[in-house]
Chain A
Amino acid sequence: MSDTRILDRGTPPERFARGWHCLGLAESFGDGKPHRIEAFGGQLVVWQDTQGGLNVLDGYCRHMGGDLTQGTVKGDEIACPFHDWRWGGDGKCKAIPYARRVPLRARTQKYATTIRNGQLLIWHDVEGSEAEPDLLPPELPGVGTDEYTPWTWEVVPITDSHCRELIDNVVDMAHFYYVHFSFPTSFRNVFEGHQATQFMESKGRPDMTGGYGDAELFLKSEATYYGPSYMINWLDVDYKGFQTEVILINCHIPTGPDSFTLQYGITVKKPEGIDDKTAAYISKKYAEMFGGGFLQDVHIWKNKVPVQNPLLCEEDGPVYQLRRWYEQFYVDRADIQPEMVDRFEFEVDTTKANEYWQEEVAENLARKAAEEAEGADGATAGSESDSPSVMTGT
């Protein structure tokens, strides 16, 4: 049976990706308390010092392994609950109140921090390199001002999946139809350097979303990963001729060999003539839609197996090239190969898929209409009406 296709599950990487990782909204760490973030196979402690700066250290005290996230912020330092050793944001032990002197070697793992678009980002590299500001995601003009709604922010722990499953979605045109019930009409990818982009135009599937209105939902989406874990998704939404600009942040922190924490946030450019309350409502609705979309992905991930050798058809996106790009974050810097970072462009041919999907949607609508005509008192409609019709990027 040598012609039987075998799934190569491969082995997961032994390290976590190099690059900037977002830990959450900066304001959520500013309450004078230590915060625990599970990350990179362990935990981090995050706290704000008296100057308002945010500090991130490995979460365990180098003395006897006490849990710093259960400690106390004292002045600028985090104090361990076990023996009150005081650690500064620079990674040095600043004081041991019961000791004559602090051992010179009392340094712990610190993480370079920066605030970008109201979010706390840290630099992670197992090789211990200096943080690279050039690799940060861009500032979003206007975000954080009165022009945009405040970020909504959600945190979703994911188990039994490596975060590469999330990355794969960048190139996965057809899953938007089957998993997210949206209908991609145009799909393109560009990878270069540390960036990977997905362009997509899509519309809602009228057969899956219940309301007639979703046939009038059109999306133009541009989603770029800046490094291994932080994606900005610019969305132009047209709903019945009403235009909205939405920005979605989709980021994650790896927590173990097959687990990660997904975080996503939404901000909406306040449409003219709409009050803040309505704008906040619109923003919340989009956040709910994307939240539902991610759950659809999670269900797939939890039940699938890892595949190193996906079998592709000619309508699929460039999975192998995306993974080649992603590999750059998992090898030593000296081992980054030119093809991992060289520019690559890919236009997916959606023609055949669109022909088939149009027919399928039409058939589903016709069947539904027939069922309703038979007086099937709405029993079949309920389960589908809460499915999100908007999903992009992943």
Chain B
Amino acid sequence: MASFVPTSADTLEDQRLYTSARLTEVACLDCLARVGVKKNSDHHTSIQWSREARESCPELSRRDGRGRDYHQGCPRLLASIETAVREGQVDIGAEDGY
């Protein structure tokens, strides 16, 4: 049973645009993790993990899930994303806000 039910079909399309459109797959250079990345600008980054990717990341797996470090990003993945951006594999720029 859904909870916050949209009353317009267009809302479903908005949900798709904002959550999954324009995601580019980036592979970590140090482990088997592959994540979806979107860059609306140089300073903006959106990273969508999957369960498989998350289980592949030794850096995040090391953290116990209770401490505050749990929320920090994986530095190796961030470096891999930077490399992918530098090499032109990830487009930079938003499309009408998404």
Given contacts A330-B4, A345-B47, A349-B43, 15 further A-B contacts (CB under 8 A): A8-B7, A8-B11, A9-B7, A11-B4, A13-B3, A138-B67, A222-B68, A308-B5, A308-B6, A309-B6, A309-B8, A314-B41, A318-B18, A342-B49, A349-B42
Q: Mark B66-98, 1 if CB is under 8 A from A, else 0.
A: 111011010000000000000000000010011
Looking at chain B, what size class is its interface with the partner chain? 35 or more
Residues of B within 8 A of A343 (CB): 47, 49, 54, 60
- Nearest chain A residue, comparing its CB with the CB of B42: A349
Give the docked Cα–Cα distance between A9 and B4 (Å): 9
B44's partner among A15, A192, A314, A342 (CB-CB below 8 A) is A314
- Interface of A toward B, CB cutoff 8 Å: 6, 8-15, 138, 164, 190, 192-193, 195, 197, 199, 222, 224, 234, 308-309, 311-314, 316, 318-321, 323-324, 327, 330-332, 335, 338-339, 342-351
Enumerate chain B residues within 8 angstroms of A319, measured Cβ to Cβ.
18
Complex: how many Å from CA A331 to CA B1?
A: 6
Q: With the chains together, A323 CA to B8 CA distance in Å?
A: 17
**Which of B's residues lie within 8 Å of A, judged by CB?**
1-8, 10-11, 14-15, 18-19, 40-51, 54, 60, 65-68, 70-71, 73, 94, 97-98
Could you tell me if A10 and B71 are in contact, using CB atoms closer than 8 angstroms? Answer: no
Partner of B5, one of A11, A311, A324, A351: A11
Q: How far is the CA of A346 from the CA of B6 in the complex (A)?
A: 24
Return the contact of A342 from the options B8, B10, B50, B97 (Cβ within 8 A): B50
Residues of A within 8 A of B54 (CB): 192, 342-343
CA distance A380 to B83 in the complex (A): 52
